[in-house]
A and B are shown apart, each in its own frame.
Chain A
Amino acid sequence: MAGTTTSYCTSAKAEHYSVAHNFLAQTTATASSTSSTSYTSVSSLAGIAVGMSFSGTNVGAGSVVAAITSATAFTSSVASTGTITGGTLTFSGDAFKMALVKASPTGTYGAATVNYTDLTGNSDEVSGTGYTATGTALTNVSPVVSGTSAYVNFSPNPSWTSATFTTTGCLIYNTSVRLGGTSGTNTTGGGRCMSVYDFGGSQTVTSGTFSVLMPVASSSLAVIRMN
Chain B
Amino acid sequence: MRVHVLKTDGGTHSEWSWATATAGLIFDIDDVQGADRMAEARDMLASIATTLAGYFRDHVLLPERDKLASNPDRLNDPFDAHMIAREAVAKIQDSARNSKWGNSLQSQEWEDVAINMISNNMNTAQHVERLWYADSNKNNTAAQAYKAKWHQE
**Residues from 11 to 42 in A contacting B, C-beta threshold 8 Å:** none
Query: Which residues from chain A contact B9 at a C-beta distance below 8 Å?
Result: 205-208
Total interface residues on B, CB under 8 Å, equals: 35
Is B93 in the interface zone, CB < 8 Å from A? no
Q: Known A155-B124, A207-B10, A208-B11; judge A214-B3 contact (CB<8 A).
A: yes
Is B5 in the interface zone, CB < 8 Å from A? yes
A-facing mask of B122-145, CB < 8 A → 1, else 0?
011011100110010000000000
Total interface residues on A, CB under 8 Å, equals: 39
Min C-beta distance of B127 to chain A, whole Å: 4
**Residues from 1 to 29 in B contacting A, C-beta threshold 8 Å:** 1-13, 21, 25-26
Residue of A nearest to B119 (CB): A155
Instruction: Verify B2–A215 contact, CB threshold 8 A.
Output: yes
A-facing mask of B37-52, CB < 8 A → 1, else 0?
0000000000000000
Measured in the bound complex, the distance between the Cα atoms of B38 and A24 in whole Å is 42
Is B106 in the interface zone, CB < 8 Å from A? no
Instruction: Verify A213–B4 contact, CB threshold 8 A.
Output: yes
Instruction: Verify A156–B126 contact, CB threshold 8 A.
Output: yes
Query: Which residues from chain A contact B150 at a C-beta distance below 8 Å?
Result: 136-137
Q: Known A159-B127, A206-B10, A216-B25; judge A8-B1 contact (CB<8 A).
A: yes
- State the majority secondary structure of interface residues on A: strand
Q: Known A161-B12, A197-B3, A203-B7; judge A211-B128 contact (CB<8 A).
A: yes
Measured in the bound complex, the distance between the Cα atoms of B6 and A210 in whole Å is 6
Q: Known A156-B124, A211-B13, A216-B120; judge A161-B7 contact (CB<8 A).
A: no
Query: Which residues from chain B contact A221 at a C-beta distance below 8 Å?
Result: 113
Measured in the bound complex, the distance between the Cα atoms of B123 and A216 in whole Å is 13
Instruction: Verify A209–B1 contact, CB threshold 8 A.
Output: no
Residue of B nearest to A131 (CB): B151
Other-chain residue from A132, A162, A195, A213 in contact with B6 (beta carbon distance below 8 A): A213
Q: Known A207-B9, A217-B116; judge A157-B153 contact (CB<8 A).
A: no
Is B68 in the interface zone, CB < 8 Å from A? no
Is A218 in the interface zone, CB < 8 Å from B? yes
Other-chain residue from A156, A203, A207 in contact with B123 (beta carbon distance below 8 A): A156
Q: Known A155-B124, A208-B11; judge A216-B116 contact (CB<8 A).
A: yes
Given contacts A137-B152, A155-B123, 6 further A-B contacts (CB under 8 A): A160-B131, A210-B5, A213-B25, A213-B124, A214-B3, A216-B25
Sample (24) of A-B pairs whose CB atoms are under 8 Å apart? A132-B152, A132-B153, A134-B153, A137-B150, A137-B151, A155-B123, A157-B120, A161-B128, A161-B131, A162-B132, A170-B3, A197-B1, A208-B8, A208-B11, A209-B12, A210-B7, A213-B3, A213-B21, A213-B25, A216-B25, A216-B117, A217-B116, A217-B120, A224-B1
